[in-house]
Amino acid sequence: MSLAEPKHLSRSRAFNDSFEPFENHTTLQLAPARISGPFGFFNPTQAHFQHKETADKNGGLNEKRPQRIDDDQGDEPPLREVDEVEYRWSPRNNRKGRHQLDVKPTRTDRKCLVPESTSSAQQITKNLLRMLTNYPYWDISWLVAYIFTWGSIVWVVNSFFVWLPLVRPSSEFKNEITAAGGITAFIGATIFVGGSVLLLLEAANENRAGCFGWAVEQVFEDFEHHGGGRWKLLPDLDYCTHHHPNKANLIGKPAHSSLQTITDSDQGASNDSSIDLVACWIWFPSKQDLKTHYIYELGFLACCAQMVGATIFWISGFTALPGILNHLSPGLEAGVFWTPQVVGGSGFIISGLLFMLETQKKWYLPALDTLGWHVGFWNTIGGIGFTLCPAFGYDTASWAVYQSSLSTFWASWAFLIGSLIQLYESLQKYPVGYNKDLRRKEVSAGSQVER
């Protein structure tokens, strides 16, 4: 059932009817008191869903999962709430094709079996190894991270070309700064533009319906001891409606076109309200969607800032090519080489800050336990460095030239760190966190609803 947005709630405390995740999902119940965002005038950036199960006549649990087209439609059995597991939705996870669970610590009477926490040393090591062995080029989120990683590597190489000769002049080779530095700057700027284009396409093609992505299986071991059949949650790519697992296209269609969500027709409504999960991808949102949704979406605005910044920054990369930069007058150099770096670097700063804010519950509380926050943090540091570089570059004094090159050096490393974290994030599609405060938050949320 869709929840209409109450007038007394700020925009960040309720979903727009057209963009409410899991609106037609029968086993995930939205907790209205736990919808939040850092600013009241933007869309929600976090929401929690309580997972429900269907109880069969034998006392076991049957998951009402998204159905295939050829599945039989049966009567819906009564629902039974399972409070050990919550699904944490966020726009960033949704864009990246991630399905995050919040789980209470293990209890002796627990009936739910879930995978090990992804923050454990073993799971971290496994995901680090995936970064070296897995190359899902069909996954746009992975491709974005991979492109930015290589772009950052090129900028690190560039920073050595332009900074090392100032530190150790004996290491300089002929035309190192003008030729090698200029060519790598152009390549790095071009790669950043390509990554920014894909980043914006990723944001425009978000999964509006929501995707649970977990399979529920019954385990009848120790049936009497546990008071009924135990159940476990496992990653299930067969029922993932994100486009990321689909090897046939980069963005747009889910991996299995035979999937459909539970529609309002299950409750006796018209089939016209069903959600088409195989809709084609779009280049850019419609004017209506922009006005009603995307201009209030922190992640989309961050992607736009990144795209604008990278495009303007590319002008500096082009003018850095040998044969162009060394033939510019001082005034023209300031206008077409240094100034685009100031504007482009500022765009990177804005983008990084917005990505950080998107993951935070409050604008003043950093989300240190969220990978996306660290991606935004290091990109902000990189943007500051890329902005300081031209700020010093306007001055031709030796100390300013040194600081300009040094700013590029540490900024490039910051971008590389952020890109590697993003690459790690893109391969971790099913994060599981053990939340000791889950029960306390539920009680607090319930109290707010009663009031």
Provide the residue count of the chain. 451
Residue type at position 23: E
pLDDT at 210: 79
Closest among 217, 259, 219 to 238, alpha carbons compared:
259
| pLDDT band at 46; cut points 50, 70, 90 | very high
pLDDT at 32: 85
| Sequential DSSP letters for 384-447 | HHHHHHHHHHT--SHHHHHHHHHHHHHHHHHHHHHHHHHHHHHH--S-EEE-TTHHHHHHHHHH
pLDDT at 102: 85
Closest among 423, 448, 425 to 147, alpha carbons compared:
423
Sequence ranges of the domains in the chain: 11-118+210-241+244-280+430-450, 139-205+289-427
pLDDT tens digit sequence for 347-390? 999 999 999 999 999 999 999 999 999 999 999 999 999 999 99
Say which residue, 265 or 21, is predicted with more confidence. 21
Say yes or no to pLDDT of 427 above 60: yes
Least confidently predicted of 20-29, 237-246, 317-326: 237-246
Say yes or no to pLDDT of 329 above 70: yes
Say yes or no to pLDDT of 130 above 60: yes
pLDDT tens digit sequence for 219-253? 555 544 545 556 777 787 777 877 777 776 666 66
pLDDT at 279: 52
Q: Quick check: pTM over 0.85?
A: no
Say which residue, 170 or 267, is predicted with more confidence. 170
The answer to whether 234 and 214 have CB atoms below 8 angstroms apart is yes
pLDDT at 268: 36
- Cβ of 132: how many Cβ atoms within 10 Å? 7
Say yes or no to pLDDT of 77 above 70: no
pLDDT tens digit sequence for 252-265? 666 554 444 443 33
pLDDT tens digit sequence for 151-191? 999 999 999 999 999 999 999 899 999 999 999 999 999 99
Say yes or no to pLDDT of 266 above 70: no
Mean of the per-residue pLDDT values for the chain? 81
Say which residue, 286 or 309, is predicted with more confidence. 309
